[in-house]
Structure formats: structure tokens, C-alpha cells
Structure 1
Amino acid sequence: MLATATDPGVVFSIRLTLRVMAVAVPAFFLLGVPLGYLLGRGRGRWVAALDFLVSLPLVLPPMAVGFFLLLVLGRRGLLGEPLRHVFGVEVVFGYPGLALAAVTAGIPLMVRPIQAAVRGDLMRLVELSAVLGKSWPTTFVRVVLPHCRKSIAAGLFLATGRALGEVGVSLLLGGDIIGRTNTVSLEIYNAVFTGDFVRAGLLSGLLALVSLALTLALKRTGRG
């Protein structure tokens, strides 16, 4: 067990997963809070279309989501080819693809709690703030964020847990290249496929402990 825990492949997958989450967690906050507010307050066709797109990773199989993203961001994709030729950026089969997969998988779970919180009595508080002459940035920081803080925390915990366990989208966007794009979840997949159940059990146990910690934090947030 100790030899497996210190195996370079296992250590690499853990480090890579931490690097991916270092991008995904801030992205959940920076993208999820404005999206949740917009979808909770906004009306119209464009808002409905955006709501539909945000919901897709929840209702579509992860492999299907990854396939559609691959069509768009692949080397000959609608956006992938211009990004590669003009900016020299290649999203798929590398770290950017893994980070995008994690954000795509988790963002719906970040948005939904905030969207529900905004549909409550928050609008009355926002209107009162405007009547008092407060600017929109001040209102957002001093009214919206404090009002939604428990929903934001819950969304972060849920989105992080979902992103940590992501396999389908990561498999297509990252390619599961050993020593390059094999995150912990993909390393578990590889270990099971090759019959290395000790490695799979060790990494699965690690993810289970992290998920348990996130669940306890979520329950504590709900009681608070």
C-alpha cells in the first residue's frame, strides 16, 4: 500500500488534480455567482437559452458533453482551429482541456443554489439599496453576496465534489494521456482497466475522504 501511495504515477495524478482544482474552484465563484444572479433575476429568450446551456451537463451523459466540446474545441473545431492558428493555444489533450472539463461538470451545481436564492426576497433588498443611492458594485458586494453566502458555499462544495469525480468529459478533452492528463479519476479508471485494484482502491478512498469532508461542510453550512 505504501509503495502504491508513493508511486510516481499516483503522485502525478494527485498533483495534476490539485492543479485542475486550483483553476476550477475560483472559476466556479467568478462564473457561477454572476450566472446564478442573472438566471435568477433575468427574463427573456436569451436568459432561457443560457439557462438551457448551463443545465446541459446535468441532463446529458458526460461523454456526450465531452464529444460536443471536442467538436467545438478540437484541432479542427469551430473555435479550436482559430485558437491554435491565431493564438497558439490548444485546449484539448492537455491541462486546459482538463480544467475546462472540471468547470463544465461543476458549474451547474454552483449556479442552481444561487439562482434559487436570488428568486427569493433579494430583489426587494436590491431595490432598497438603489433607492438609498448605492452603486451597483456596492450593492452586489454588500447586499447580494452576503444574502447568498450560504448558497454560494453550498454551490462551491457541490461543484467541487462533482469536478473531482469527473471522468467522461475529461476523458474526451484530456485524452487520458499517461504522465500528462491522467487525473485521479482517470487514474482510477486506468487502474481498474489494468486490474490494479490496490491503486484503484487507494485513489478511490482518497476521493471518498474528500467527498465526505465536502458533505460534512455542506451540512454544516445548511445548519448555519
Structure 2
Amino acid sequence: MTSLVACAPASLALSLQVAGVVLLLFLVCGIALGYLLSQPIPLRGLLDAIISLPLVFPPIAIGFFLLMAFGRHGAIGGWLHQTLDWELVFSFQALVLASFVAGLPLVAKPIQSAIEGSARDLIEAAYTLGKGRMETLILVVIPVVRRSIVAGLTLGVGRSFGEVGITLMLGGNIIGSTETLSLAIYNRVLDGDFDCAAKLSMLLGLVSLGLFFLLRRLGRL
């Protein structure tokens, strides 16, 4: 394991940092969006389509559109640059955004399905008793669908470790700065360092297997 980590220590540390931040975002946004998608809200279909887009659309294309939006001359990026003098692309925040977008449907959709399948009657009962949306979410929904929440979080974080396409476009693949573990494998292959690429692939494989067995164990609780 030591030799695996030594092959690209900065990339491993960066990927772990991104995964940690993304996990926190998934805990808040993933659960909230899964709950919203299970409710009869306006433009629900459009919101569902936007969240699900990374499941069916090429990641490199999503990364390109995000780059156009958040780049210095983009609608959002231009405003950030002019107002806050801050550029999102080619930064740690860009890596977090890429991983968040890629993994969000894997978190929100299972939660949505679980709520629609097992918590709908309880939600209606809570509304009948005068509970608000937030109170219902915290006291009723989360305890009932906790297994689906854990499963979604596991899948979403696992997806963040393997994200390449969106990260490549937004992060820029800058060695020592925005080179994640997956991009390190890509770079080592381009450099002809297949031994290091193999070691890093084994490390990613171990992480994936660990997440898989964790998911199976949690599913039995």
C-alpha cells in the first residue's frame, strides 16, 4: 500500500479532500433534492431532467458546457470575476463542482425512489398533523429512508473518485494542483509510466471494492 500511495501522494490527498467536501454537499443537497423530487412541485420534471443529465449525457460534454458557463467570459464565471474577482475554473472548487455534478443523481434518485415507495403515506400523515416540509423531512423522511441515503452517499462519493471527463474540463488537469487520482492514472499512461498507472488503478480498485462492501453491509442493517 505504501508504494501505491507514494506513486502519486498529492493526487491521492487531493481526491480525498474533494470526496470529503462532496460528501458534505451530498448530505445537504442530495437529501433535499431527493425530497423535493418526490413532491408535486412546479417544474419538477425539468429539475429531475437536469439532475439526471449526468447519467445519460457524456461527461466531457457536460464539462464543456460548465466551462462555458463558469469560465471568465461565461454568464456565471464572468459575474464572479467582475464582482468577486474570483475564478472558479482550474481550482479546487472546480474539482468539487465536477464531482458534485457527476455524483448528485446517484444520491438524489435513490432517495427520491425510497420516499415515493415507502414514506409517502407517512409524509401525508405528517402534513395532516400540521407539520411543515422541513420538520417532516428531518423527523419523518430521513429516519425512514436512511438506508437509501447511505447507499446514495456511498455511490456518490465513489463516483467522485472515478470522475474524469467533467474534472478534465473544469479542473484543467494541472499536475500538482488539480490532478486527481483518476487524472493521475491518465497522465501516467500518457507518459508511458504503466507501472505507476497500474499501481494507481489498483488503489482506485481497492477504494471501489471498499465502498461496495460497505454498501452491502449497510444494506443488511
**Which of residues 128, 143, 148 is equivalent to 2:145?**
148
Question: Which amino acid counterpart does residue 19 of structure 1 have in structure 2?
Answer: Q
Name the SS for the 1:90 alignment partner: coil
Shift of 1:83: 0.3
Is 1:70 aligned to residue 67 of structure 2? yes
Unmatched runs of 5 consecutive residues or more in structure 1: none
Structure 2 counterpart of 1:169: 166
Residue 36 (structure 1) aligns with: 34
1:98-177 paired onto structure 2 within 5 Å: 98-177=95-174
Q: Deviations over 1:164-184 (max 9, x none)?
A: 100000000000011111010
Match of 2:16 in 1: 18
CA distance in 1, matches of 2:68, 2:104: 20
When the two structures are superposed, what TM-score results if normalisation uses the length of structure 2? Answer: 0.94
User: Matches of 1:138 and 1:74 in 2, distance apart?
Assistant: 38
Residue 117 of structure 2 aligns to a residue whose secondary structure is coil
Cα contact 1:41–1:118 (8 A) shared by 2: no
Question: 1:14 and 1:121, CA in 2 relative to 1: closer, same or farther beyond 3 A?
Answer: closer
- Structure 2 counterpart SS, 1:191: helix
**Contact 2:4-2:203 at 8 Å conserved across structures:** no
| 1:117–1:4 CA distance, 2 compared to 1 (3 A) | closer
Q: Measure, in 1, the Cα distance between the counterparts of 2:203 and 2:137.
A: 37
Secondary structure at 2:188 match in 1: helix
Alpha-carbon displacement from aligned partner over 1:21-58 (angstroms, at most 9, x marks no partner): 121111111111111111122244x1111111001111
Q: Which 10-residue stretch deviates more, 119-128 or 78-87?
A: 119-128
1:44-84 CA-to-partner distances (Å, cap 9, x unmatched) read: 4x111111100111111110010010110011111101101
Q: What residue identity is the alignment partner of 2:219?
A: G
Offset from partner CA, 1:124-175 (integer Å, 9 cap, x none): 2122223344454332212110011011011011111111100000000000
In structure 2, runs of 5+ residues without a counterpart are none
Q: Which residue of 2 aligns with 1:6?
A: 6
Secondary structure of residue in 1 paired with 2:10: helix
Task: Output the amino acid matched with 1:29.
Answer: L
Whole-angstrom CA distance in 1 between matches of 2:124 and 2:57: 37
Q: How many residues align?
A: 221
Identity %: 46
CA apart distance, 1:4:
6.6
Q: CA RMSD in A?
A: 1.6
